[in-house]
Structures are given as structure tokens and as C-alpha cells.
Amino acid sequence: MNPKLYIAIIPISVLFVLGFSTLNPEFLNAFIKHDGGQSLKVYALKLPDSVDFCGEKAPLESPDIKERLDKELLVNTYWQSNMMLLLKKANKWFPKIELILREEGVPDDFKYLAVIESGLENVRSPRGAKGFWQLMPTTAREYGLEVNKNVDERYHIEKSTRVACKYILKAKERFGSWTLAAASYNLGMYGTDRSLNNQLVNGYYDLLLNNETSRYLFRILAVKEIMSHPKRYGFIFEQSDLYQPIPVKIIGLNKPIENIAVFAKEQDINYKLLKIHNPWLIQNHLNNKSRKYYEIMIPDQKHH
């Protein structure tokens, strides 16, 4: 057998056993230090002395709390590709979210709730929740968003963020705690109330909950810690590596759009770009029989 051919078909698992020292650094450069040193190692993490959510400190003196935070820090630190992507996307989306949180009177830390809910993408969950804030249809409509086959404002970053703020403020008023308000975003206000009453406690960190909600605040705390101190956790980048906000102009209208592709061409962009910046437009037309006022975002031509 041709020796070169034999090398080519060595299983990847064998290469991991043998190490990367004989490989061309360009072949697996994500596993090799930029300075040409040793391949990367996995280290246990030194936990911060203190962490808080909206000024409410986590009781790290409790072994249970300490271990749960350690778990989420490890998971999010060593899922490097995902965290690096979150850091890049945060540069694009955090300024808009932070502004709305300030305007609505919601603490800045809630931007990390959007991170763990959706990864800062307009995703759809198997249960039907959608958008950056993963709103269910009934909740979205209850708080004033339009949700139908033609328009779904859960995909509208500004409107959905304001609805999330309204929910959070209502939960804070009910529970008296930002931590419980965040937990209720996952568990629901009724579920949170019932758990507190059944277990005779008054704080999130004293509750025994389902696996998802048990991890919920710790995922937020871990993401906040890493994204606030990326270099401490090994994430090295330049500002130019990050995704940038795209300037847009706003076109207001209160009439139907018969064909969005034609409308896009009239704005000197294409259908794809119009839909990227207005994902709440579900179909290739806007019905608008009620003559509702909508704002369409058109990206700056320099950023096409």
C-alpha cells in the first residue's frame, strides 16, 4: 500500500491519541496556539469569589451552589466555538437590547437571559416559542404583539424586547426579586409561585426545581461572567473580529405591500436583505387590511 495513502486513511481518533505534533499547523489550527506552542490543554476553572444577578448575590458558600456554577462555567468555557460566536453576536445586538432595557427600567443583566434563551438569534423552539426572547404565542398576544401567518412580531427585536421587559417587571413586582423574576421567565409565574409555596422557601437558590429551571440562573451567571471577562477564560479577539451593528433607515407605512420582493427592489435592495432586517414579515406580502402603521428597516447601501 502507498504509505501516503495509508496515512490519509488513519482514523481521526488515532490522530487524537498520537497528538498533533506531526500535523501541519494549518490543518488543525484551532487546536494549536497562535504562537506555535503546545496544543491546547483543558484546565479546571478558578471560580470567582463572588457572582451576582442584578445585584443579588449567589450564595457560593453553599457546596451545591458552587458546584452548579462550576458546571455551567465549564460547559460554556470549553464549548469554545459557541461562546466565541456569542461574543461576536453580542457586539452587534447588545447595544440595541441594553438601550431598551434602560428605557423600560429593567437591569442590564437581563440581556444575558436573551443569550441563553436564543443565542441571540431568531430561533423557533419545538414548543413554538420564537425570537430572541422565546415568547410563546399566547404570551406575545397578551402583551400586544401581532402573531399570525402573515406577521409575527416575536421576530421583531425591539418590540419583543419591550414585551420581555413588561413580563420581567410584572414578575419582579410579584416576587420581589430579580432572580425569581428571571426564573419565572422559564418556569412561569404560576409554576414559580407554586414551587415557593410547596417548598416553604422564598428564594431561587433554596428551590428544588426541574433540571432546566435549576440550571437556568446558573447558565445566566456563567454567560455573564465569561462575556464580561472573556480574556480570563481564554477568548482572544480583536474588535474587528466582532459582528457590527448595521445602520438602517426606517420606512413607515400604513398600507399593504402586495409583493415584498418588488417592494425591496424599489428600495434598491433584494428580498433576502429586506427579510433579514425585517424577519417579522413572514410571507411575501403584507396584508394590513386594518391600515396599521408598520416600520420597515432598510440597510444602509454601504453595508449590503
> Which residue range is the domain that position 254 belongs to?
248-303
Contacts (Cβ under 8 Å, ≥6 apart) of 143: 163, 166, 167
Mean pLDDT of the chain: 90
**HEC profile of 97-140:** HHHHHHHHCCCHHHHHHHHHHHCCCCCECCCCCECCCCECHHHH
Given a cut of 90, whether residue 35 has pLDDT beyond it is no
What band does 33 get if pLDDT is binned at 50, 70 and 90?
low
Q: Is 149 helix (H, G, I), strand (E, B) or coil?
A: coil
Asked if 216 and 266 sit in the same domain, the reply is: no
The model carries a pTM of: 0.86
Asked if 79 and 216 sit in the same domain, the reply is: yes
Asked if 198 and 280 sit in the same domain, the reply is: no
At 36 the pLDDT is: 59
Which cell goes with 11?
482514523
The verdict on residue 84 lying in a domain is: yes
The verdict on residue 47 lying in a domain is: no
Asked if 173 and 56 sit in the same domain, the reply is: yes
pLDDT tens sequence across 64-103: 999 999 999 999 999 999 999 999 999 999 999 999 999 9
pLDDT tens sequence across 151-176: 999 999 999 999 999 999 999 999 99
Asked if 142 and 70 sit in the same domain, the reply is: yes
Number of domains into which the chain is organized: 3
What band does 301 get if pLDDT is binned at 50, 70 and 90?
confident
The verdict on residue 176 lying in a domain is: yes
Asked if 57 and 37 sit in the same domain, the reply is: no
The verdict on residue 165 lying in a domain is: yes
Grid cell 440597510 — which residue? 299
Asked if 100 and 146 sit in the same domain, the reply is: yes
Asked if 91 and 202 sit in the same domain, the reply is: yes
CA distance 177 to 179: 5
Asked if 147 and 14 sit in the same domain, the reply is: no
Sign of CA dihedral 12, 14, 20, 21: negative
The verdict on residue 294 lying in a domain is: yes
The verdict on residue 235 lying in a domain is: yes
What's the burial of 26, exposed, middle or buried (CB within 10 Å: 0-12/13-18/19+)? exposed
Asked if 81 and 228 sit in the same domain, the reply is: yes
The verdict on residue 46 lying in a domain is: no
Which cell goes with 32?
494549536
At 216 the pLDDT is: 98
Asked if 156 and 192 sit in the same domain, the reply is: yes
Kindly state the helix (H) or strand (E) to which residue 253 belongs, with its residue range.
strand 248-253
Q: What CATH code is carried by the domain that includes residue 162? A: 1.10.530.10
Residue ending a domain, among 218, 241, 264, is 241
The verdict on residue 281 lying in a domain is: yes
Asked if 10 and 60 sit in the same domain, the reply is: no
